[in-house]
Amino acid sequence: MPTQENQHVDFWQPHLLRASFRYAARQHWDAIAKALKPVCTAPTEAAALERFYEFAEMWGGRYPAIVKLWEDAWAEFVPFLNFDPEIRRVICSTNAIEPVNARIRRAVKARGHFPNEQAALKCVYMAIMSLDPTGKGRKRWITRWKAALNAFAITFDGRLNPSTR
């Protein structure tokens, strides 16, 4: 059974997967990701634990550090399983945010330094707005994520205020 040590480990599922790859040879990344997917998509903690034991049996001999990483992060990982599958999909999708972060980094690096906080915020705002100058990208995103928006509205009742655009 995974331990609940107080060691700080990134608990977000995508970061936990990436951290797992740090201990594995590149040639095994796809197989490890495939073996961990049932753990991350399990409907309950018991099912996830069962899938984790299968993973540990398969890969624990070769990569015991990955098994220990997941054991140490188990207490932080379990609350992730309480979310609807649609919300989990959004949480795990780092593809949408990475281009935004890259654009912000590029804008900040090109500017160099800022005289005050307001100047820095303006630079970040302009970088984000340049990603979708017409505002049509937001409509495309909302259309693709209707299931996730519904799950967020139910799970976080009263905290999600969709725009009328």
> pLDDT tens digit string along 37-86?
899 888 889 999 999 999 999 999 999 999 999 999 998 888 888 888 77
Angle in degrees, 0-180, between the axes of helices 13-21 and 64-77, rounded to the nearest 10: 170
Please give the pLDDT value at position 76: 87
Asked whether the predicted pLDDT for residue 162 surpasses 60, the reply is: no
Please give the pLDDT value at position 165: 44
Asked whether the predicted pLDDT for residue 91 surpasses 50, the reply is: yes
Nearest partner of 12 among 40, 31, 35, judged by Cα: 40
Q: Which residue has better confidence, 97 or 103?
A: 103
